[in-house]
A and B are shown apart, each in its own frame.
Chain A
Amino acid sequence: MTIPPPPPPAVAARSALVPAAASRRRLRTAGIWALSAALVVAAWGLAQVQKPEDASYETFVSATAVGETATARNLSVTVTRVRAGRAVSDGGRWHAEGTWLVVDFDAAAVQDQFGALLQVTNLHLGGRTYSATERGETAADMVLITGVPRHGSIAFELPEGALKGTATLEFAPTYTTVADGVVEVTVDLDSLPLQNEVELDPERWAR
């Protein structure tokens, strides 16, 4: 058994090491703080880039203009003509006054005819949404046949003085458009003449 050496040299050695260890420790602390700050900034950046919670329910829009064909998942639509009138008639006994927008179109299913009806026919105008009227005989809820387009007309009953600005027509083959495709067609209403009476086209095969 040897007599333990006096403490001072070991203490001195330890105290000599302390400044170096302390500075390395300070550097490591600073590094950890910097990393934390960087992660917080990255999290903020990620939150900015992220879509809202509702994004997975958004519809897929196929946009087009009058005269062109657009195809969504199970619907292909071509708006052939848009007319505005102070009155509409369906070629039969029904006649109605008011402010009307009549849309003629060709529509077909793309993949599956089962359950394919033109169920969504909406007009977005001036911050409001209108649906195609159920009055008279129109092509609302028209049967869609796979690959073979059918022609029809729908009419939108609008409040007085609403026929201005740019409108967007929305078509879809089912009511639940959540995460499904819709076709949107932009129409410029300012350039549309207002007719006295507009007659709806009968429902038939597309030409």
Chain B
Amino acid sequence: MTSSTRGWWRSNALALGLVAVLLPATVLGIGWWQWKYAYPDSGQPIWAVEPGASGTVDLQGATWGPVRAKEVSDTKGLDMPRNAKLILVGVKVTPTSAKGPGCWSPKLIEKSTGRVWLSARTELGLLWDDEEPEDCVPTLEGEKAEPYELVLPYVVPDEAQGPFWVEVEPLFAESRFVRFSVDP
């Protein structure tokens, strides 16, 4: 380095020092912000939380599970189509905070094809029953959240084969959702 080059470095030392600090800080800051916008704040279910040995998951102020699933063969009294079967899924929800969690309608997903079903209570001719909730029960003003079980009748085509996933996406869970594996 010639003396003029060294002189340039010295006279610009302060600016260069600031760039060395600010440039990575800007990159990291914007990068973190964008990642946050794209992932946890996206409102899309991205990270599945699966149960451990207990069969339950703690997420968003509630304990989800255990889950049971059964293929119901006796569908007398229900309006069932031909070439389809009824899979009844129960998901226990035990709120751990004062207000119960809200959630999107729980989905049944066929692992092999990725096909998604939602419960079809209305189409089966079943009226709304507050003992058999299809969606997460909201906690009213002045009440305390009680445990309940989601009763979800899914109508799937005969050729749909297990194993399935049962996915429940709680509201405001920052892209995390609960996923259980079932094989009715």
Contacts and interface: CB of A to CB of B under 8 A. Distances in A.
Whether A and B are associated in the same complex: the answer reads yes
Interface string B77-89: 0011111100000
A147 B79 CA distance: 17
B155 A111 contact: no
Interface residues of B, number: 21
A95 B80 CA distance: 30
A51 interface: no
Contacts of A206: 81
B114 interface: yes
B54 interface: no
Contact of A145 (B82, B83, B107, B123): B123
Given A146-B156, A148-B81, A112 B116 contact: yes
B5 interface: no
B154 to A, nearest CB: 9
Interface string A195-207: 0000000001111
Contacts of A112: 115-116
Contacts of B116: 111-114, 146
A30 to B, nearest CB: 51
Interface in A157-180: none
Contacts of B80: 205
B117 interface: yes
Interface residues of A, number: 15
A148 B118 contact: no
A146 B113 CA distance: 12
A111 B79 contact: no
A107 interface: no
A11 B93 CA distance: 103
A205 B156 contact: no
Nearest to B80: A205
B117 A145 contact: yes
Interface in B159-179: 159-160
A150 B123 contact: yes
A188 to B, nearest CB: 31
Contact of B157 (A143, A147, A150, A207): A147
B123 A143 contact: yes
A201 to B, nearest CB: 15
A148 B115 contact: no
- Among the interface residues A111, A205, A207, which one has the most CB atoms of the partner chain B within 10 A? A205
Interface string A97-118: 0000000000000011110000
A114 B115 contact: no
Nearest to B79: A205
Interface string B124-163: 0000000000000000000000000000000111011000
Given A111-B115, A147-B115, A204-B79, 20 more contacts: A111-B116, A113-B107, A113-B118, A114-B107, A143-B120, A145-B155, A146-B116, A146-B156, A146-B157, A148-B84, A148-B156, A148-B157, A149-B81, A150-B81, A150-B123, A205-B79, A205-B80, A205-B82, A206-B81, A207-B82
Interface of A: 111-114, 143, 145-150, 204-207
